[in-house]
Homo-oligomer: A and B are copies of this chain.
Amino acid sequence: MKNQICELLGIQYPIIQGGMQWVGLAEMASAVSNAGGLGMLTGLSQATPEDLTKEIERCRTMTDKPFGVNMTIFPTINPPPYEAYIDAIIASGVTVVETAGNGAIKFMPKIKAAGIKIIHKCVAVRHAVKAESLGVDAISIDGFECAGHPGEEDIPGLVLIPAAVSALKIPVIASGGIGNGRGMAAALALGAQGVNMGTRFCATQEAPIHANIKQALVDADERSTNLIFRTLNNTARVLKNDISDEVVSMENRAGGVEFGEIRHLVAGARGREAIREGNPNDGIVTAGMVVGLIHDIPSCADLLDRMVKEAKEYLDRASSQLG
């Protein structure tokens, strides 16, 4: 049997690097693609559509393998020029786009018309079913464990992945909580055809992140994340540190919290600078619960080779226990 995600995306291993703000640069994406997975540039980490065009060109000089671009499209008061970003992606000849957010729906016909494969990322089975009906090629389903935005329904992968697989005809990519061969084996056993990883790729040699932050991920355990912005219905899972602890404590305060109060705190928390300059307590650092399973900082090639080899071993070993 062949793997549908590998065939769909033209890659060797069914392992995808998810969109990551400030991290999804050409260094990261090309390293993952060169290792046999699908690297992903983060569209909105580039200040303008023209910058994204240049970053795609730069990535092409670093790998001749396929890579994708993530476009996360939420309604905001002052939105970036989303359509110009989409046009830049189409003009660049990129073959895969990872979409996320309700706002992506209106751009899907245009992306599809350009012959680009769409992986749509979502956190709920009913949203996945809707996206399938709109013609996306694969669903990346994001469980409660995940870094960034898990939504407000808190369904972990062990239940969410098989529920999505049952409800969909298109292939499912399991996202959230996966960082090693065991997680990959479990995701495939649950019916996913591939895995998406973010946090695990942050702790690789090639990730454009300060060494201190990579070490903070290695040092963390499974309890080292916080859910912030829950009271704003915009929950985000981030690394536990002084700042995210303070946000949680403000949100837990009797009477709730005003957005302005948190925004003041978060605006002072320099997430981008923290991951570049290496002080994990200096900003809000996005990370998933899988930090508890990250114990080293390998190259992307070593990571992917090891994961696939171990996943197969774990699957065969588990099967042999059942006679």
Contacts and interface: CB of A to CB of B under 8 A. Distances in A.
A321 B222 contact: no
Contacts of A143: 156, 158
A232 to B, nearest CB: 14
Interface in A108-161: 125, 143-145, 153-160
Contacts of A256: 254
Interface stretch (A64-72, A205-213, A306-314): A306-314
A158 B155 contact: no
Interface in A284-323: 289-290, 292-293, 308, 311-312, 314-323
A315 B322 contact: yes
B293 A322 contact: no
Nearest to A314: B189
A178 interface: yes
Interface stretch (A94-102, A179-187, A243-251): A179-187
Contacts of A14: 321
B191 A159 contact: no
A106 interface: no
Interface of A: 1-3, 14, 125, 143-145, 153-160, 162-163, 165-166, 176-178, 180, 182-183, 185-191, 193, 221-223, 254-256, 289-290, 292-293, 308, 311-312, 314-323
21 contacts: A2-B321, A3-B322, A153-B223, A155-B223, A158-B186, A159-B289, A160-B222, A163-B222, A182-B191, A185-B186, A185-B189, A186-B186, A186-B189, A186-B190, A189-B318, A191-B314, A254-B255, A254-B256, A255-B255, A312-B323, A315-B322
